Amino acid sequence: MLGGGQLGRMFIQEALNYDVHVHCLDPDADAPCRYLATSFQHGSLKDYDTVVQFGSNKDVVTVEIEHVNVEALHELENRGIKVFPQPGVLAIVQDKGLQKEFYLKNNLPTAEFMLVNGKEELISKNIPFPYVLKWRKGGYDGKGVQIMKSAADFDQLIDTPYVIEQMVPFTKELSVIVARNEAGESVVYPTVECEFSPVANLVEFLFSPAEISEEVEKKAREIALKVIDSLQMVGILAVELFLTADDEILINEIAPRPHNSGHHTIECCYTSQFEQHLRSIVNAPLGSTKLITPGVMINLLGEPGYEGIAKYENLEQVISREGVSVHLYGKQTTKPFRKMGHVTIYGPDLNELKTTGRIVAKELKIKA
Cβ pair 204, 297 in contact under 8 A: no
**Cα–Cα dist 202/260, whole Å:** 10
Tell me: is residue 165 an annotated ligand-binding position: yes
Taking the least distance from each CB to a second copy, the nearer of 52 and 278 is 278
Taking the least distance from each CB to a second copy, the nearer of 6 and 99 is 6
**Cα–Cα dist 221/190, whole Å:** 8
Q: Which of 327, 345, 339 minimizes the C-alpha distance to 366?
A: 339
| 32 φψ region: left (φ > 0), alpha (ψ -120 to 50), beta (else) | alpha
Taking the least distance from each CB to a second copy, the nearer of 196 and 312 is 312
Question: How far is Cα of residue 68 from the mean position of the Cα atoms in its chain?
Answer: 15
- Closest contact distance (angstroms) between CB of 303 and a second copy is 17
Cβ pair 7, 65 in contact under 8 A: yes
Taking the least distance from each CB to a second copy, the nearer of 167 and 319 is 319
- Closest contact distance (angstroms) between CB of 41 and a second copy is 14
DSSP string, 95-122: -HHHHHHHHHHTT--B--EEEESSHHHH
Taking the least distance from each CB to a second copy, the nearer of 285 and 304 is 285
Tell me: is residue 253 an annotated ligand-binding position: yes
Tell me: is residue 167 an annotated ligand-binding position: yes
**Cα–Cα dist 175/157, whole Å:** 29
- Closest contact distance (angstroms) between CB of 365 and a second copy is 16
Q: Which of 361, 217, 350 minimizes the C-alpha distance to 296?
A: 350
State the residues that interact with a second copy by CB under 8 A: 9, 13, 16-19, 21, 35-39, 270, 279, 284-285, 287-288, 290, 292-293, 316, 319-320, 322-323, 325-330
Tell me: is residue 166 an annotated ligand-binding position: yes
Distances (CA, A) of 201 to 110, 156, 359: 21, 18, 21
**Cα–Cα dist 270/192, whole Å:** 16
- Closest contact distance (angstroms) between CB of 288 and a second copy is 4
Cβ pair 64, 140 in contact under 8 A: no
| Residue 222: half-sphere exposure toward Cβ, Cα within 13 Å | 10
Taking the least distance from each CB to a second copy, the nearer of 144 and 295 is 295
- Closest contact distance (angstroms) between CB of 203 and a second copy is 20
Taking the least distance from each CB to a second copy, the nearer of 212 and 268 is 268
- Closest contact distance (angstroms) between CB of 231 and a second copy is 24
**Cα–Cα dist 295/360, whole Å:** 14
Tell me: is residue 96 an annotated ligand-binding position: yes
The residues, any chain, with a CB within 8 Å of residue 146's CB and separated by 6 or more, are: 132, 133, 153
- Closest contact distance (angstroms) between CB of 240 and a second copy is 26
- Closest contact distance (angstroms) between CB of 188 and a second copy is 15
Q: How many helices (DSSP H) and strands (DSSP E) are in the chain?
A: 11, 21
Taking the least distance from each CB to a second copy, the nearer of 39 and 171 is 39
Annotated binding site for ATP: 96, 134, 165-168, 173, 252-253
Annotated binding site: 96, 134, 165-168, 173, 252-253
